[in-house]
């Protein structure tokens, strides 16, 4: 039996419920998939000398992380505006900067930097919503990452979509263009929010997502103000308003989902909506804290995201897991809330479920796609290790990621990128940021 | 004019109020102190070819970070118990493990690992409270770090202090032994808390701190339960109870300080008590969230700490700053709360003030001790940089630290340790952890 890559050594955390860590593991990868995963001291009939060896001694091996809500090209605006209220930040700083500086070129380089940062910090798959998304497709394609890339829809003039009346047409054409293009790239539609999109836009977007049988993304109940606006206008809370429009179902990916009452959580659970928790962005913009443990209890699938890195300000899911676990504890007044395993599930199989590909990625399992990362644990802040899950969630950060494999292809080996030229990308984005600063 | 070390290139953030970043900086260090700091393109009459050059191009140069509350040797128990209520965690897991496994040997190696981790993540000075503290002195001395090292005092049998009646004597002897021993090491006394120490112990500890004119550390109002206990017993809130005992003054370093009412905050401000905010530990143990912006407004000096890394679970102050800034925003419902500069002040000059050495360290300033770190910004997650303070607080982590200088001595250069043998330390602590696991 043939293997293209063998990950050799290390402790594998499969994230399959009930399965113990595999110590001194050997992971066999062929044709993009995991062929086998077992202890190295068993007799190795599969050993194939032509396979590329990934030396994983003194590492933890886990499924690649899924960043289930981000806007990759917003790396362009990392640190551009901080310590401001969301509305002022968005409407006075970010939206005007986007209108002025986003172009096919800047989105391409910003997305490449996002991909580079995600690879460097162990993300193997992400869910993106932005503008000029042809360029994000190009960047992701070059990077070798897996992604759901959605064209933004908003009822204002937007980057690349001057006339809001054209927003659905642009999104539909984007999907049509890239549908089936690559097994790693899924196009999609991203309605900005029920506040910034009319009923007609929301319903139209939903029709497009039905037509192509693709998920639809949306920001949901991110601020109290937004909820009050919708209740004022529609006499319904946001989830019920969207339900009436036919948007609340399994294909909806709802990011933030902070201000939900019990009836809304119940509705999300019953109808199979996917929620993406973005704790650091919610904290930084002072939006609030989602009722995540309650949602999980009610059967809602919850994944983890960083949001765009200008409200975070990085794309590091390892740090995001730590924050998610700690924030839930102090906010719920329950120190057992969101334990290490639950949070790592959110960032792996939870994210896979949001994309509807939980049978393909999200655990280390024979037959699944080989989306795998290793974390170097031979480092002071990860010593000693009583529990690998604790080390990952509570002590590690993105810089500990050593190797990254997506779809059976190595994207980073011993912290060297194989698909992207990091110096070139940083130079290009620095040049763009100098233009932004000067103007 | 002579220089031992010249830091060459990079953007220096002096942390002196009102001072702009120094671009393309040159920092001259001689005899342990900063001799000059200025732009490199000015005429360099001081240039001394025998000086060691620290290449700081593409870095940010800042004052070394001060971890104002930790228990370094608790690295031994990193990840030993997570996701549990504080009381159960402390009394059923941590205290019994400490009694059983702490010894001169384990505290020495645990402290060395703590020092190693702190150097690796940019901490140049820390405030420690624990047991077998002679060993922590030895470890710190070997590491080259600056520290206030305090002997723990608690009215239970404690590691190395079987008979609680001896606790003050042991602490006094510890101070006497190390007082004046090294300019980098200040001995001290650490009363565990007003709940675990009697009035007599608290007053006795205070007398010792007066005798040697040294700060006294204490955990203060970490849990609501503790506050209720004290109110029940004394009819006074903890700060007023301690004030009555004469403990509330400039020499008190109060860690946690979560459950304070307005009158207590006012009292701390008026009497010059130093507060140490430890947000990640407070979140993880579900203790609560300190009213930090309110304290700062009332004139309380606030510094930042990680706490012991078994309730965190690392000693990374760069990540702690990020959490402190974000937590304040969402908890206060004010997105302008604790901005990047305020948080970096807490972790530098704030910490220096807690130790009473704000005239010696905490800013990059001519004549001050050379406690300086550089952060490598040529990395995807720190690109681009519109505002260096934002990059430090919201995007960086400990792994970005490149060089560490304490008292004019290089402890880490380009991520190579100069004083400690990292492989040996990790091997020793791993061996100790295997004994703990097996028993």
Q: Look at A384 and B429 and tell me if their CB atoms are within 8 Å.
A: yes
B224 at A interface, C-beta within 8 A: no
* pLDDT (0 to 100) of residue B218: 98
Residue at token pair 């795998």: A372
> Is residue B425 assigned to a domain?
no
* pLDDT (0 to 100) of residue A274: 98
pLDDT in tens, A297-331: 999 999 999 999 999 999 999 999 999 999 999 99
A429 at B interface, C-beta within 8 A: yes
* pLDDT (0 to 100) of residue B87: 82
Answer yes or no: are the C-beta atoms of B193 and B226 closer than 8 Å: yes
pLDDT in tens, B39-89: 987 666 556 678 999 999 999 999 999 999 999 999 999 999 999 887 888
Pair A150, A178 in one domain: yes
Answer yes or no: are the C-beta atoms of A239 and A275 closer than 8 Å: no
Which residues does chain A have within 8 Å of residue B340's beta carbon, measured at their own beta carbons? 82-83
Q: Look at A79 and B394 and tell me if their CB atoms are within 8 Å.
A: yes
Query: Considering only alpha carbons, which residue of chain B is nearest residue A115?
Result: B380
DSSP assignment string, B357-426? -TTTSSS--TTSB--EEEEE--SGGG-S-S-HHHIIIII--GGGEEEEEETTEEEEETTEESS--HHHHH
In the 3-class helix/strand/coil scheme, how is A359-402 assigned residue by residue?
A: CCCCCCCCCCECCEEEEECCCHHHCCCCCHHHHHHHHCCHHHEE
> Is residue B271 assigned to a domain?
yes
pLDDT in tens, B282-291: 999 999 999 9
Report in angstroms the alpha-carbon separations of B408 from B64, B318, B401: 12, 22, 17
pLDDT band at B1 (very low <50, low <70, confident <90, very high): low
Secondary element (H or E) of residue B110: helix B104-120
pLDDT in tens, A253-298: 999 999 999 999 999 999 999 999 999 999 999 999 999 999 999 9
Pair A34, A130 in one domain: no
B416 at A interface, C-beta within 8 A: no
> Is residue A363 assigned to a domain?
no
The CATH number covering residue A54 comes to: 2.30.40.10
Q: Give the Cα separation of B419 and B408 in Å (integer).
A: 14
pLDDT band at B391 (very low <50, low <70, confident <90, very high): very high
Q: Give the Cα separation of B251 and B253 in Å (integer).
A: 7
Q: Look at B384 and A79 and tell me if their CB atoms are within 8 Å.
A: yes
Pair B59, B70 in one domain: no
The CATH number covering residue A163 comes to: 3.20.20.140
B76 at A interface, C-beta within 8 A: yes
Across the interface, of B285, B287, B430, the residue whose CB is closest to A383 is: B430
Pair A17, A29 in one domain: yes
Q: Give the Cα separation of B390 and B382 in Å (integer).
A: 10
> Is residue B95 assigned to a domain?
yes
Answer yes or no: are the C-beta atoms of B400 and B375 closer than 8 Å: yes
Q: Look at A79 and B322 and tell me if their CB atoms are within 8 Å.
A: no
Q: Which two tokens stand for residue B3?
A: 């220089």
Pair B262, B139 in one domain: yes
**Distance of residue A65 Cα from the nearest chain B Cα, in angstroms:** 17
Contacts of A262 (CB under 8 A, 6+ apart): none
Is B370's pLDDT higher than 60?
A: yes
Q: Can you say whether the dihedral through the CA atoms of A234, A237, A239, A243 is positive or negative?
A: negative
What is the pLDDT averaged over residues B149-156? 97
* pLDDT (0 to 100) of residue B43: 61
Q: Give the Cα separation of A256 and A233 in Å (integer).
A: 21
* HSE of A309, CA atoms in CB hemisphere, 13 A: 33
Which residues does chain B have within 8 Å of residue A90's beta carbon, measured at their own beta carbons? none
Pair A342, A384 in one domain: no
Pair A284, A254 in one domain: yes
> Is residue A423 assigned to a domain?
no
Q: Look at A319 and B397 and tell me if their CB atoms are within 8 Å.
A: yes
* pLDDT (0 to 100) of residue A51: 94
> Is residue B289 assigned to a domain?
yes
Q: Look at B336 and A312 and tell me if their CB atoms are within 8 Å.
A: no
Residues in A 259-288 with any Cβ partner in B closer than 8 A: 280, 282-288
Secondary element (H or E) of residue B119: helix B104-120
Residues in A 122-181 with any Cβ partner in B closer than 8 A: none
> Is residue A200 assigned to a domain?
yes
pLDDT band at A439 (very low <50, low <70, confident <90, very high): confident
Pair A346, A323 in one domain: yes
pLDDT in tens, A389-407: 999 999 999 999 999 999 9
- Kindly compute the dihedral angle of the four CA atoms of residues A396, A398, A402, A403, in this order, to the nearest 10 degrees: 120
Q: Look at A385 and B79 and tell me if their CB atoms are within 8 Å.
A: yes
Is A169's pLDDT higher than 80?
A: yes
- Mapped onto helix, strand or coil, the DSSP state of residue B200 is helix
Pair B320, B198 in one domain: yes
**Mean pLDDT lowest for which of A369-373, B11-15, B90-94, B287-291?**
B90-94
B91 or B253, which is more confident:
B253
Q: Which two tokens stand for residue A53?
A: 């060896």
Pair A410, A271 in one domain: no
Which of B132, B75, B88, B82 has its CA nearest to residue B307?
B75
Q: Look at A433 and B327 and tell me if their CB atoms are within 8 Å.
A: no
* pLDDT (0 to 100) of residue B48: 60
pLDDT in tens, A74-125: 999 999 999 988 788 888 999 999 999 999 999 999 999 999 999 999 999 9
What residues pair up with B171 in beta bridges, in sequence order? Answer: none
A60 at B interface, C-beta within 8 A: no
Which residues does chain A have within 8 Å of residue B332's beta carbon, measured at their own beta carbons? 286
Among A325, A354, A383, identify where a domain stops: A354
Q: Give the Cα separation of B194 and B204 in Å (integer).
A: 13
Q: Look at A286 and B82 and tell me if their CB atoms are within 8 Å.
A: no
Domain range spanning residue A94?
65-354
What is the pLDDT averaged over residues B94-118? 97
Q: Look at A113 and B380 and tell me if their CB atoms are within 8 Å.
A: yes
* pLDDT (0 to 100) of residue A45: 57
Pair B311, B335 in one domain: yes
A222 at B interface, C-beta within 8 A: no
Q: What percent of chain B has pLDDT over 90?
A: 94
What is the pLDDT averaged over residues A413-425? 98
Q: Look at B384 and A340 and tell me if their CB atoms are within 8 Å.
A: no
> Is residue A424 assigned to a domain?
no
Q: How many domains does chain B have?
A: 2
Pair A198, A59 in one domain: no
pLDDT in tens, A32-86: 999 999 998 766 655 667 899 999 999 999 999 999 999 999 999 999 999 988 7
Which residues does chain A have within 8 Å of residue B307's beta carbon, measured at their own beta carbons? none
Among B304, B323, B354, identify where a domain stops: B354
* pLDDT (0 to 100) of residue B77: 97
A438 at B interface, C-beta within 8 A: no
Q: Look at A397 and B337 and tell me if their CB atoms are within 8 Å.
A: no
* HSE of B224, CA atoms in CB hemisphere, 13 A: 7
Is B304's pLDDT higher than 90?
A: yes
Q: Give the Cα separation of A65 and A414 in Å (integer).
A: 17
């Amino acid at each position: 039996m043939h293997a293209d890559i063998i990950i050799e050594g290390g402790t594998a955390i499969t994230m399959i419920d009930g399965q113990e860590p595999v110590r001194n593991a050997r992971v066999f990868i062929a044709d993009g998939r995991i062929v086998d995963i077992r202890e190295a001291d068993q007799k190795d009939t599969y050993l194939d000398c032509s396979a590329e060896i990934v030396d994983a001694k003194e590492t933890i091996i886990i499924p690649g992380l899924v960043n289930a809500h981000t806007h990759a090209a917003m790396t362009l605006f990392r640190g551009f505006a901080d310590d401001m209220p969301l509305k002022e930040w968005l409407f006075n700083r970010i939206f005007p900067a986007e209108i002025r500086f986003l172009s096919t070129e800047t989105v391409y380089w910003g997305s490449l930097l996002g991909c580079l940062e995600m690879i460097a910090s162990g993300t193997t798959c992400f869910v993106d919503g932005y503008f000029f998304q042809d360029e994000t497709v190009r960047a992701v394609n070059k990077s070798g990452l897996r992604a759901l890339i959605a064209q933004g829809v908003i009822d204002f003039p937007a980057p690349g979509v001057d006339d809001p009346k054209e927003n659905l047409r642009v999104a539909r054409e984007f999907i049509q263009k890239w549908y089936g293009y690559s097994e790693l790239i899924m196009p999609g539609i991203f309605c900005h929010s029920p506040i910034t999109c009319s009923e007609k836009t929301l319903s139209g977007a939903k029709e497009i997502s039905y037509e192509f049988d693709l998920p639809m993304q949306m920001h949901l109940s991110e601020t109290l103000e937004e909820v009050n606006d919708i209740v004022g206008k529609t006499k319904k809370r946001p989830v019920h308003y969207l339900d009436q429009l036919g948007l609340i179902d399994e294909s909806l990916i709802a990011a933030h989902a902070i201000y939900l009452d019990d009836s809304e959580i119940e509705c999300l659970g019953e109808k199979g909506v996917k929620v993406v928790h973005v704790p650091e962005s919610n904290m930084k913009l002072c939006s609030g804290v989602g009722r995540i443990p309650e949602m999980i209890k009610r059967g809602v699938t919850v994944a983890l995201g960083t949001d765009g890195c200008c409200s975070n300000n990085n794309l590091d899911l390892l740090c995001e897991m730590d924050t998610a676990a700690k924030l839930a504890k102090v906010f719920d007044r329950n120190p057992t809330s969101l334990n290490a395993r639950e949070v790592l599930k959110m960032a792996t199989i939870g994210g896979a479920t949001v994309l509807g590909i939980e049978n393909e990625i999200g655990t280390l399992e024979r037959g699944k796609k080989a989306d795998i990362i290793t974390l170097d644990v031979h480092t002071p802040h990860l010593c000693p290790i009583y529990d690998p899950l604790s080390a990952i969630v509570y002590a590690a950060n993105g810089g500990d990621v050593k190797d990254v494999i997506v779809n059976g292809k190595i994207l980073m080996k011993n912290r060297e990128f194989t698909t992207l030229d990091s110096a070139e990308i940083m130079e290009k984005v620095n040049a763009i940021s100098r233009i932004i600063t000067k103007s």
